[in-house]
Structure 1
Amino acid sequence: MKIRRVVLGVDSAGKSGVLSDAHAVRNSAFETVPGFEANLLWSTTAVSEAGSKSTFSDPTVEANFLPGLGESRLMFVTFPPDAVMMRPNFDGAAFGAEFDRLLPGLAETFEPDAPGMHTTDSIDYDVVLDGEITLELDDGKEVLLKKHDVAVQQGNRHAWRNKGDKPATMLFVLMGKQRAA
């Protein structure tokens, strides 16, 4: 999915303006799981400034998908129905390798012995833009989220499951935080 991203800010003359109007460059469409796609739309570092007077450079080009302490990430993710990964010719090893390559930083949070389960050191705002998706928690509890529902996660262990027959698209805002001991 090509997503238009309009970046606004302060130009070199100190005036508000459009710094960039183009498609986001970090579009990760998976070959091993048709319909699974992640788009990193924006990234901030712990020292990013608002209103800085500089020329535009895209902070998403080298960024990991998972923010570090004090950083943030904005992304769209489309989850195909789980049945896509249950097909007879699904190659889990190839998917794992592709996930590692396309979603650096995030890939390392997934648990090999519990498919889909992961924990991030972040506060996450998760918005369902289209479709339905199930948020599975580590105690087995499941929460069905529908279009425009929002989940706020605070460093908890979870997995996303699309038990339906249509893709689900979500907007994620992740803010890197230190997890409580």
Structure 2
Amino acid sequence: MKVRRVVLGVGSNGKSGVLSDEAAPRNIAFKTVPGFEATLLWSTAASSEAGSRKAFADPSIEANFLPGQGESRLMFVTFPPDSVMMRADFDGAAFGAEFGQLLPGLAETFEPDAPGMHTTDSIDYDVVLDGEITLELDDGQEVLLKQHDVAVQQGNRHAWRNKGDKPATMLFVLMGKKRAA
């Protein structure tokens, strides 16, 4: 999915303006899982300032997909139906290697012995933009989310399951926080 990203801010003249208007530079389409895409749209560092007049630099270019404490990430993810990963020629090892290479920071949170399950040190706002997706929790509970539903996660263990026959596209806002012990 090509995503247009318009970045606004305060220019050197002290007035608001467009700093960038282009395709998001970190759009990833997985080769091992057709239809699985992730786009990192923006990131903030813990030291970021709103309205700063510093020269524009795209902070999402080098950022990990998982925010550190006090940081944030904004991303789109499109999940193909689970049946794509259940096909006979699916290579789980190749997918794991590709996932680790393309989604640094986030990939390390996934559990090898529990496919899809992961826990992040973040508060997440998860918005279903299109389709339906199931949020699986570690107690076995499943929550079906439909278009425009929002989940707020607070450092809990979970997995995303697309049990339907159409892709599901979500917008994620992750804010790095220290997780309670």
Q: Could you say which TM-score interval applies, normalised by the shorter chain?
A: over 0.9
Aligned to 2:102: 102
Per-residue deviation, 1:105: 0.2
Q: Following superposition of structure 1 onto structure 2, how do residues 16-165 of structure 1 map, counting pairs within 5 Å?
A: 16-165=16-165
For residues 10 and 139 of structure 2, the distance between their equivalents in structure 1, rounded to whole angstroms, comes to 47
**Aligned mates of 1:150, 1:5 — CA distance in 2:** 22
Q: Deviation of residue 56 (structure 1)?
A: 1.4
For 1:172, the aligned partner's letter is F
8 Å CA contact 1:77, 1:171 repeated in 2: yes
* TM-score (normalizing by structure 1): 0.99
Once the two structures are superposed, residues 124-145 of structure 1 have per-residue CA deviations (whole angstroms, 9 ceiling, x without a partner) of: 0000000000000001100000
Aligned to 2:170: 170
Structure 1 residue 159, shift from structure 2 partner: 0.1
CA–CA distance in structure 1, aligned partners of residues 54 and 24 of structure 2: 20
Post-superposition offset of 1:54:
2.0
**Aligned AA for 1:16?**
S
- Give me the whole-angstrom Cα distance separating, in 2, the residues matched to 1:110 and 1:120: 9
- 1:9 maps to what in 2? 9
SS of aligned partner of 1:86: coil
User: Helix, strand or coil: the match of 2:34?
Assistant: coil
Equivalent position amino acid for 2:23 in 1: H
Pairwise CA distance, 1:102: 0.5
AA paired with 1:125?
A: Y
% identical aligned pairs: 86
Deviations 1:13-49 (A, max 9, x none): 1100000000000001100000000000000000000
Deviates more, 1:51-60 or 1:138-147: 51-60
Paired AA for residue 133 in structure 1: I
Read off the aligned partner of 1:46 and give its amino acid letter.
Answer: A
Amino acid in the other structure paired with 1:66: L
4+ residue segments displaced more than 4 Å: none
1:38-90 deviation per Cα after TM superposition (whole angstroms, max 9, x unaligned): 00000000000000102211101100000000000000000000000000000
Uncovered stretches (5+) of structure 2, i.e. residues with no partner: none
Q: What is the RMSD of the two structures over their aligned residues, measured on CA atoms?
A: 0.4
Cα distance in 2, alignment partners of residues 4 and 54 from structure 1? 23
Contact 1:121 1:179 in 2 (8 A): yes
